[in-house]
Each structure stands twice: as structure tokens, then as C-alpha cells.
């Protein structure tokens, strides 16, 4: 059984083999340690010259990545925990994306910043956040998030091969999750993939949906569980739309389902306000809804270390279920 982690690692090996311009920089990425979450395992053994272990200087190594990209390399910078991307905001917003677009000509900047985001492991307030929010809507920056649905190693490869700066988000809970990407049917749902480089996937029971669940990344398995439960216990049929390119994103797949369901729940692991879901709802507001769309997200507090409290703060299957029910029960003001 291949897991998301294996796929990422294999994809990484493949792209480094095929593309001599791929260079990896990060903290503690050398073998035998192979990186805090082991995504980079084996790379330093196979490509010792192109895998550079770094000091604990998140801003510094992102800048180095930008410089390497200007030198026509395809650098991949690992930020050990997504929480520490707070330290690279200046590099990405005022340097990387600016170089890409402010000089009156497109300056290719194939930089990938990879980072694990997310909670549910008891790591506490500074090692559990989903901060990709900070990078959504940054002009010139692509944010791509892994799910078990689209081969993660292939997704990573495509990000690495793109010509602009990208943030590649890996939700920690997914690392050990089995891949679904080869399957055409998942938990009784049919999968439709868009033709894009970073596909949108629509999972559907083949029946007219009552509600469209929209999500990405680590909330994918949770939304699927919610869909199953809603079907069994509430006789509510959901489509689940999973995006991979989350900023900027295409509304097509969401819109197509919404036209049928006219009800939407957007689920994400990050905090509620100005989260991913805010833009999804704002963008889809041109559509006719039978009930206000509902967002499911983390409570707006630091994520507690104790698992008991962490569970209370983070969005759970039950929250997605409740939100879907709400869209069916409620009405516009």
C-alpha cells in the first residue's frame, strides 16, 4: 500500500533524476535522518551535490532559493513546519514574487517552497497551524496542496517544473494516508478529474447532489467520511470537490456541482476568517444558492497541545456533517 509520503518521496527522486537543475535545501534533510517528515529521504545519498542541509534560517534559505532560481536551477526549499513560513513572508512577497513580475518582463522564478502544515498530532500552538492562508492571493504565487487523490509525487513534480514561485502544502496527517490516486472509485464515489496540470476532483455518488462539499488537503478524508455519514444517517447526497491548486483556483468544478446542489459547505483546517473558504464563497456568490454557504474551519484560537482540546478546536467530521445539515435546514435572511 503506497502512502502519500512514499509517493512524494518517489516523485522527488524521479524529478531529481530527470532534472539535473533540481536542487533541494532545508534543515536536517541529509541521510540518514532524511528530513523531519522524511519526504527527502534518500535524496542526499543519491544526489549529494544537489541536496544542501541548511542552518535554521528560513528567510535565508528562501532567499537562496530565489537566487538559485534566477540562476536557472529549480530549487526546492523545505520549511520544516508550515508554522515557520511566517519567517519567509518577506522573501516571497517582497522579493520572489516581485522579481517574477515587477521588472517589466517575466523573470522566470521556478522556486518551490515545500512545507508540512496542520495539526491533530498534539504538537501544540506553534507546530500545528495551517498558515497557507498567508500566501493565498499573493500576486504571482501559486499555492498547491496535496491530497490522496492526485498522485502527490506527480503534483510535486509539476510544481517544481512550473516557471513561477510556488508554495507546496503537505498536510501532516496525509503523510501516512494511503494513496487513492490510482482508483477511479473511492468509498463508493466516482471520481472525475479536470484536465488541468493541478486537477480539481469531483467525487460523486452518481445521484443528484443535495450539497456540494468543497475542500482541499488534509480535510479531504474528513469530508469523504462526512459524505458517507450524511448519506447513511441523513439520506443527504453530497458531491465532494477537492482542489489541488488552491490559489489561484478555478471555480469550474465547484460551479458545475453547485448548479445541481445549490448548497455549499467549504471545509478547511485553517482558521475561519479570511480562510480559503472566504474566497471560495465570495467567488461563487454569483451562483444561486438555496441556503447560505457554510464554512467549516478551525476555531480562532491558538491550537492547544492537549489532544482533548485540539479536537475541540479543529474541524471534525461531525462539523462537516452539521454544516451540511445546516444548509438543508436553513434559509436566507
Partner 1 sequence: MLSQIETDFRDMLLIRRTEELILQLFTEGKVSGTTHTCIGQEANAIALISQLDPAIDFVMSNHRCHGHYLSFGCSLEGLLGEIMGRANGICGGRGGSQHLKSGNFFSNGVLGGGAAIACGLALGEKLKKQNGIAVWCLSDGALGEGVVYESLNMAALWNLPILFFVENNLYAQSTPIALGVAGSVVDRAKPFGIHADEIDTTDVEQLRPWCSEMIEYVRTNRKPAWAVVDTYRLAAHSKGDDNRPEEELARHREHDPLYLLRRRVSDACIENAEKWVEDVLAKAAEAAENSPASTMDGELS
Ligand X SMILES: Cc1ncc(C[n+]2csc(CCOP(=O)(O)OP(=O)(O)O)c2C)c(N)n1
Residues that bind a second copy (CB under 8 A): 83-84, 86-87, 89-90, 93-94, 97-98, 101-102, 124-126, 129, 131, 133-134, 136-137, 139-140, 247-248, 259, 271-279, 281-282, 285-289, 292-293, 295, 300-302, 304, 332-333
Give yes or no for a contact between 311 and 303, defined as CB atoms under 8 angstroms apart. no
Out of 84, 100, 168, 216, name the contact with ligand X by CB under 6 A. Answer: 84
Give the shortest CB-189-to-partner 1 separation in angstroms. Answer: 31
> Which of partner 1, a second copy, ligand X, none has residue 245 at its interface (CB below 5 to 8 Å by kind)?
none
Told to check if 302 binds partner 1 by CB under 8 A, we report yes
Q: Does 22 bind partner 1 (CB under 8 A)?
A: no
Does 230 help bind ligand X (rule: CB under 6 A)?
A: no
Residue 281's binding partner, choosing from ligand X, a second copy, partner 1, none, with beta-carbon cut-off 5 to 8 A by kind?
A: a second copy
Stretch that binds partner 1, among 192-200, 235-243, 288-296, 303-311 (CB under 8 A): 303-311
CA torsion sign for 278, 282, 288, 291 is: positive
Burial class (CB in 10 A: 0-12, 13-18, 19+), 180: buried
Which residue in the set 80, 111, 141, 243 belongs to the binding site for ligand X (CB under 6 A)? 80
CB-based burial label for 231 (10 Å; 0-12, 13-18, 19+): middle
Options 49, 232, 235, 331; binder of partner 1; rule CB under 8 A: 49
Between CA 116 and CA 137 the distance in angstroms is 20
Instruction: Match 488534509 to its residue by C-alpha cell.
Output: 218
Contacts for 82 with CB less than 8 Å, ≥ 6 apart: 115, 116, 117, 118, 129, 130, 131, 132, 169
Q: Which of 24, 39, 68, 266 binds partner 1 (CB under 8 A)?
A: 68
Residue with the three cell numbers 493541478: 198
Cell of 175: 503523510
Enumerate residues 305-324 that contact partner 1 by CB under 8 A. Answer: 305-309, 312-313
- Tell me: does residue 134 bind partner 1 (CB under 8 A): no
Cell of 250: 478555478
Amino acid at each position: 500500500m503506497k502512502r502519500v509520503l512514499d509517493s512524494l518521496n518517489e516523485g522527488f527522486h524521479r524529478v531529481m533524476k530527470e532534472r539535473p537543475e533540481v536542487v533541494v535545501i532545508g534543515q536536517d534533510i541529509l541521510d540518514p535522518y532524511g528530513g523531519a517528515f522524511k519526504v527527502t529521504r534518500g535524496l542526499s545519498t543519491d544526489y549529494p551535490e544537489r541536496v544542501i542541509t541548511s542552518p535554521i534560517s528560513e528567510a535565508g534559505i528562501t532567499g537562496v532559493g530565489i537566487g538559485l532560481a534566477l540562476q536557472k536551477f529549480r530549487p526546492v526549499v523545505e520549511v520544516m513546519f508550515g508554522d515557520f513560513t511566517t519567517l519567509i513572508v518577506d522573501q516571497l512577497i517582497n522579493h520572489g514574487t516581485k522579481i517574477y513580475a515587477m521588472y517589466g518582463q517575466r523573470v522566470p522564478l521556478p522556486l518551490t517552497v515545500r512545507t508540512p502544515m496542520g495539526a491533530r498530532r498534539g504538537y501544540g500552538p506553534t507546530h500545528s497551524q495551517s498558515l497557507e492562508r498567508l500566501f493565498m492571493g499573493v500576486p504571482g504565487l501559486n499555492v498547491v496542496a496535496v491530497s490522496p487523490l492526485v498522485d502527490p509525487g506527480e503534483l510535486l513534480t509539476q510544481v517544481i517544473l512550473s516557471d513561477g514561485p510556488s508554495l507546496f502544502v503537505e498536510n501532516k496527517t496525509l503523510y501516512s494516508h494511503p494513496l487513492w490516486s490510482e482508483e477511479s472509485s473511492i468509498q463508493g464515489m466516482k471520481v472525475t478529474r479536470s484536465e488541468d496540470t493541478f486537477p480539481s476532483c469531483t467525487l460523486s455518488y452518481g445521484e443528484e447532489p443535495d450539497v456540494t462539499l468543497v475542500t482541499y488537503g488534509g480535510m479531504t478524508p474528513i469530508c469523504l467520511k462526512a459524505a458517507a455519514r450524511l448519506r447513511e444517517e441523513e439520506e443527504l447526497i453530497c458531491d465532494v470537490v477537492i482542489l489541488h491548486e488552491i490559489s489561484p483556483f478555478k471555480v469550474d468544478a465547484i460551479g458545475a456541482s453547485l448548479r445541481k446542489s445549490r448548497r455549499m459547505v467549504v471545509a478547511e483546517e485553517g482558521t475561519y476568517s479570511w480562510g480559503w473558504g472566504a474566497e471560495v464563497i465570495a467567488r461563487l456568490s454569483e451562483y444561486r444558492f438555496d441556503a447560505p454557504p457554510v464554512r467549516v474551519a478551525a476555531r480562532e484560537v491558538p491550537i492547544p497541545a492537549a489532544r482533548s482540546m485540539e479536537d475541540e478546536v479543529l474541524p471534525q467530521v461531525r462539523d462537516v456533517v452539521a454544516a451540511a445539515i445546516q444548509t438543508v435546514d436553513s434559509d436566507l435572511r
